[in-house]
A = this chain, B = another copy of it.
Amino acid sequence: MAAARRSPRLKDVAEAAGVHISTASRALNERTAALLNPQTLERVRETADGLGYRVNGMARALKTRRSLSIGMVVPDITNPFFPPTVRGAEDVLDRAGYSLLLSSTDNDLGKARRQVAAMLESQVDGLLLAMALRDDPLVNELRSGNAPLVLVNRTIDRGGVSAVVPDDFHGALEAAEHLYSLGHRRLAFVGGPLATSNGARRRASFDQTVARLGLKEVAALEAVAFDEDAGYATAQDLLTRHPRVTGVVAGNDLLAIGIIAAAAERGIACPQDISVVGFNDMLLAGRLQPPLTTIRIPQYDVGARAAELLMSLVDDPDRNPETVLISGELVIRGSTAAPRAAD
C-alpha cells in the first residue's frame, strides 16, 4: 500500500494528460469546458479522476475572489430555535454550491466580533447574523463593509440592512387575543430582552393589544434572556407581585417553560390556574407537559429565506436592503384554558 503522497495538483493532471495546465483548468470547469475539443475534454477528465485530483479551493478562491462559503452566527446552536433555522439556511446554500461556517456567540459581543473577524479573514462571501441587537455595534461596523449581510430572526431599529424576521407584532397580538377570547382578563407579559427587536416588538404588540381590548395590563416584565432559567426567575417576580394574574404571554417557548415551572412550584397549575402562551413552536413543544399553546414560526423557512436573500445579495451587491416578515400562526394546545369560574 503506497504511502499517502501529496495530492495531485492541476499541473500533474495536465502533464499526465499531455495538455497545458490552462487546458486542464478549462476541462475541469463547467463554465469553460465547452471551449474544448470533446476528446481533449474527455481525456483530461479521465486523467483527473484517475489521479484522484481535487481542485484546491483556496487557490481557486484566491484567484476568483469567491470562497463559496457563507458565515452564520447564532447566539447558541443549542437553543431549539436555531437548529431548524440553520438547517434551512444550509439547505439553500448547499443547493447554491456554498458551504456554511457556523459559530455560536453566547450573546457576547467580543466573541461575536472575533468570530466574524475570523469568517471575514477566511473570505466568506456573505454573512448570516442571528444575534443582532436593536442597536448593534457589530452590525453597524459590518454594514459599511464589503461582505453582503442578512440579519436573521432579529433586526436593527435603524434599518438599512436586509433581514428575515418573524412577524412579532401579529404573533403577540394573536397570543393576547387568544387568552382574552378564553375569558382571561388579567394578562401579563414575560418577554425577552428589550434590546432585541423581537423582545421589544412582542412587548409593544402586547401592550397595544391589551389596551385595545380595554384591559388593564397586570405587568410586562423583561427576562434577561430568551431561556428557561430567565423565564423561571422572571415568573417568580411576576407571581410574587401579581398573584392574581391568570394569563401570560411569554416571549418564547423556553421562557414559557420556565414560567410554567415557577408557577408549578407555587402550586399554581397550568392550565388550571394559569394559562401561558409561548412563541415559536420549537421542536417538541407539543409533547411537553403541558403541551404548549404557542405562536408557530416556521423556523426552517426563516433560515431558508435568509439564505435566499443573501444569495441574491451576493449576486448583486447593490440590491436594495429588504426585510422579509415571516408570519406565524396560533397553535392551541394544553397550556391555555378558560380561567376558573371564580375568576
Contact = CB atoms under 8 A, between A and B. Distances in A.
A69 B268 CA distance: 50
A288 B103 CA distance: 29
A204 interface: no
Tell me the dominant secondary structure on chain A's binding face.
Answer: mixed
Contact of A100 (B103, B121, B146, B289): B103
A342 to B, nearest CB: 27
A219 to B, nearest CB: 25
Contacts of A59: 62
A287 B257 contact: yes
Contact of A94 (B77, B103, B117, B289): B103
A87 interface: yes
A77 B87 contact: yes
Contacts of A145: 4
B99 A118 contact: yes
User: Assembly of this chain: how many copies?
Assistant: 2
Contact of A103 (B62, B99, B104, B122): B99
A123 interface: yes
A86 B7 CA distance: 29
Contacts of A103: 90, 94, 99-100
Contacts of A120: 54
Contacts of A57: 121-123
Interface string A53-87: 01111110110000111000000111010111011
Contacts of A77: 77, 83, 86-87, 90
A51 interface: no
Interface of A: 1, 4, 7, 54-59, 61-62, 67-69, 76-78, 80, 82-84, 86-87, 90, 94, 99-104, 115, 117-123, 144-146, 257, 283-284, 287-291
